[in-house]
Structure formats: structure tokens, C-alpha cells
A and B are shown apart, each in its own frame.
Chain A
């Protein structure tokens, strides 16, 4: 079983990052063009929208799935892709980006988010290592029965169970061969 602890610091941080991902993702998706323009990277609008989808997926994953670790790692990978894209936008390549300053601000924000992601991933892995180091108690002798299970099967088949708890006979699977269906004359069959 994957180990994680829903009340740990690592998990709380992971959930926070999940909400952050969803927020950022929605912004990138809805306002992709505005964001791209602000950074002087209009030609990257579609890419930024796609990143929005990626963020939302990671965010839902963090909030939705039990174990946040794979999703935090997917965020870290995403951070790297973001940084690469922004670095390209800031680079004094063929054309100079007049808004490179804004791209630099965005780059700084991604660096900060990455740091948080890494801290979170480390905390989660530390917690998992701790839980794995704990001994698993052995309950294999806790049957609750005085005798082996084979001797207990059906021991209470005489239990007083009233008819309202019973399955109507025609819905019982037992004895299909002699349930009286289909009736010989193809009429309403009444099981014996």
C-alpha cells in the first residue's frame, strides 16, 4: 500500500499546491493571451493554455488521488518546462523582448514555486520512509472464532432471520435446476 498521512505537514502543503495549480491553470487557460502579452511572448499563447491544462490536471490529481507524491513530481517536471519556456522568452536572441523584465518576474515566481514543490516532495518521501520503517502488526491469528474457520462455516445458519430480510425465492440462486423454471407449459412458473 502507498503510505501517506492525510494530516501531515507534507500532505497539507501538497493540498495547498493542488489548489495553487488549479488557480494558476484556470488563469493560464482563460487568460492565456493576456499573460503571454504581458511577458512579451504572444507567439506562445497556445503553449501557455496547454500549460494551464497541465496545471489543472496536476491540481486535481493532488486533491483527488490519495497519494500526492506522483503529482508533486509531475509539478516539478512542469516547473522545469515552464522555466525552459520562460528562459527562451528572456533570451536576447534574434529579436529583443521589450517585456523581458516581466518574463523575468514570472521566472522568479516559477523558481519559488519549484522550491516549494521540492520541499513538499522531500517531506512526503520522508514521511513515507518513516511509515515504512514501522513494524506491521501481525493479526493473522485474530479470527474471533473458537475453532478453525472451516468448522464455523454455517454455524449460525439456524439464526432467527425474519422474512423481511429474506430474498424472494425466485431471486435465490441456489438450486437453479429445480426452481421450476421455465415452467413446462410456458406459463407462470411457481417454484416448488
Chain B
């Protein structure tokens, strides 16, 4: 089959690889009908995220048709069923899964020993996302093996297009959880850094969950325009001071809720900390660029909440932790517990409360994936979200 394969930094190729097979009775094989490139994939593409090996198949936002089911998954899944696959693999039986903390499932990471060493304790297995989280083959491919498939799926009723439901596997619940864990009050101002696909979903979620004021920050004009379409007031961080504008918009008090939808590749701004980050990351003295985090800590209203869906990989420098501690900030973060939200979100899509396909700007065949990684990363051609058709 054809699949997008990681070969090194800036080197993802569409290769022919062996078809996946059932390896465990709980597995299923899904024939991918639609998949997407996620901002998290860019961290792999740019190789700022450690733990990839040459030959790994990437992709973790995908859906398709079940074509084969292992004996232990048969009660939950049938050949021919249409499913979106959540990017977090979960067992449904461990203590964490029983609490709904699927992204930290204790049993789905087959490289648990490695993860235990690196993270102290393992987190869940993820598709196409480094050997730290299981090294499972990803979904930017014609076929995928889905482990623990009796749990790791979202069944899709007929009458909805792939494009409407695809993002249930990742960015829609990610934006939703980012806001949910802020516990929005009707009096809250929510500031969202990053108007990429995750930021866009976060903006819509904050509106639906009733925030008084949603403020979105980015520098890419068409992304800011899409943010405004979704109800956000926007700040272009290259043109204006983020801190000044946020204070202005919140009567000098700062936003109660701050959300980082940017992550470890925060764009450098003309500030000393950004320059140091870029230089240090280039020299491998730190792995993540934390400009957005620092800005959030600085501007957040004391006793407010920071929510961090943006992905970080390792070490960050010059964290103004004293500021965070003294301001009594609450931190909420993590990979998304996808299946915790998807029943509700699928309902909302079916009822027409939201159509997440608004974010798609590019649809291309799978073999054009490698170029689209670059178009997406460099924000060329008005690119916001890329959908691939295997």
C-alpha cells in the first residue's frame, strides 16, 4: 500500500510499504478514506520532537471503513462499518481509562518501559507519533492497523460527509477540551494563542461554551480572518503588543482564561526570549520554544487558568515560574481524551450546531502529502488545514 513515511527532518515521502495485518485479537484493519495533516505532525516533520525512526508511517487524524476485525473486537466492531479513529489508543480497562483519562491510558503504549523512563510513567499509545508513544503505524496511508479497536473508534452514522466528522479524531475534541478544562464562566475573557486548525476549533468551542469575549492571537492574515469569522477579536502579534492589547480588552485585569494552541514551535517575535529560544533550539540546548507560555503567565489574570493543548516535547528554559506561582494560576494540559467528548460532539455536528469542515482549505491525493506538509508549515497558498485522500 501507499503511505507517508518519515525519513528524517524535512523528509516525509509517499512510499510503498507492506499492508498492515491483524497482530492481536483486539485489532482491526481500517481502509482509510480520508485523513488530515495535523499541527502535531509538523513537529515530527521539522524533527523537533524526539523519538522518530526512519521508516515510521505518520498520521493520526484519519477515518475509513473497517475491513477486518480481530476475534476479540468482533463484539464491538463489524466489517463495513464507518469509523473515525481517535489519535489516542485506549484500553478501556485500566484505572485511567475508567476515569476517562484516555490519553494517559496505562496499557495502550507497547513501549511502556521506554515511556516510563522518559516521562516517569507511561502515557497512552498514539498513532504515527514517535516510539515514546508506542511507535504505532499512522493513518496517512491506505490501510491502518487499529490496536484495541473495540474501544479505539468512533462510529459514524450515515448522512454525514467524511469532512464533517474527520476532525472528531483530533482537533475538534482538542479545541473542545482546551476550553472545557478552563470551565468557562459567562463573564470570562478567553485569550487563545494560535489560529491554526486547533486554535480555530478552540475559538468555536469557546463561543459555544459561552465565553463573554474570545480573543485570538496569530500573525497570518487569513487565519486571523477565519478567527474573526468564528467570533473572535483578533490580535496580530507582529503588528501590535499582545500584552497591551489583552490588558486593554480586559479593563486592565488580563484574561481569566489563557489557551496555548501553538505549542513547541512558537514563532519567534522580536523579543530577547524568542531569539534565545531559537538559538538554543538550533544548538540543541533546549528542545521547545516557550514564548507563548511565558506571555500567558505574564498576562493572565491572577487566580486564572492556563490551558495548554499545544504540544511540548521536552525541556523549556526561562519559565517565569515565580510569576505563575505568586499569581496562583491553575494549569490544565495534556493530550486530548478524545473519546470522552466525541458522543456529544458528534451529536452537535448531526444537529447542525457546528460544521468543522469550515477549516479545510486544501484537499489533495495522498501522494501530494509530502509537499502539503511544507505548504501547511509555511502557511503558503492560504493553507490552514490539509485533507488527504488515499
Contacts and interface: CB of A to CB of B under 8 A. Distances in A.
Interface in A143-188: 143-146, 149, 152-157, 159-162, 164-167, 171-174
Given A65-B270, A152-B208, A174 B220 contact: no
Contacts of B177: 165
Contacts of B332: 165
A85 B204 CA distance: 59
Contacts of A166: 183
B219 interface: yes
B279 A167 contact: no
**Which are the 5 A-B pairs with shortest beta-carbon distances?**
A154-B210, A149-B231, A64-B278, A137-B382, A144-B358
Contact of A2 (B238, B278, B330): B238
A61 interface: yes
Interface in B257-310: 267-268, 270, 274-279, 282, 301, 303-305
A48 B275 CA distance: 24
Contact of A139 (B185, B209, B226, B268): B226
B207 interface: yes
B228 interface: yes
A140 interface: yes
Interface hub of B10, B182, B204, B236 (most chain A Cβ within 10 A): B204
A131 B303 CA distance: 43
A130 to B, nearest CB: 10
A155 B354 CA distance: 10
A80 to B, nearest CB: 24
A173 B185 contact: yes
Interface hub of B200, B274, B353, B357 (most chain A Cβ within 10 A): B353
15 contacts: A1-B220, A64-B268, A64-B279, A139-B229, A144-B359, A145-B230, A145-B354, A146-B354, A154-B186, A155-B353, A156-B208, A156-B353, A166-B183, A173-B301, A174-B188
Given A6-B378, A144-B354, A159-B209, A65 B278 contact: yes
Nearest to A8: B378
Nearest to A154: B210
A138 interface: yes
Interface in B197-250: 200, 204-205, 207-211, 219-222, 225-226, 228-231, 236, 238
A154 B210 CA distance: 4
A22 B359 CA distance: 41
Interface of B: 10, 99-100, 177, 180-183, 185-188, 200, 204-205, 207-211, 219-222, 225-226, 228-231, 236, 238, 256, 267-268, 270, 274-279, 282, 301, 303-305, 330, 332, 344, 348, 352-359, 361, 374, 377-378, 380-382, 384
A7 interface: yes
A135 to B, nearest CB: 8
B211 to A, nearest CB: 8
Contact of B222 (A139, A149, A174): A139
Given A154-B208, A174-B186, A5 B225 contact: no
Given A131-B380, A139-B229, A1 B219 contact: yes
A12 to B, nearest CB: 11
A43 interface: no
A173 B182 CA distance: 12
Contact of A141 (B229, B270, B277): B229
A108 interface: no
B275 A60 contact: yes
A165 B229 CA distance: 28
A63 interface: yes
Contacts of B207: 145, 149, 152-153
Given A138-B222, A146-B352, A164-B99, 10 more contacts: A6-B377, A64-B275, A134-B381, A136-B222, A140-B225, A144-B230, A144-B355, A144-B357, A145-B230, A146-B353
A66 interface: yes
A167 B305 contact: yes
Interface string A47-78: 00000000000001101111000000000000
Nearest to B357: A144
Contacts of A174: 185-188
Contacts of A65: 268, 270, 274-275, 278
A142 interface: yes
A134 B187 CA distance: 41
Nearest to B382: A137
A7 B10 contact: yes
Contact of B231 (A1, A64, A152, A156): A152
Contact of B204 (A7, A134, A145, A160): A145
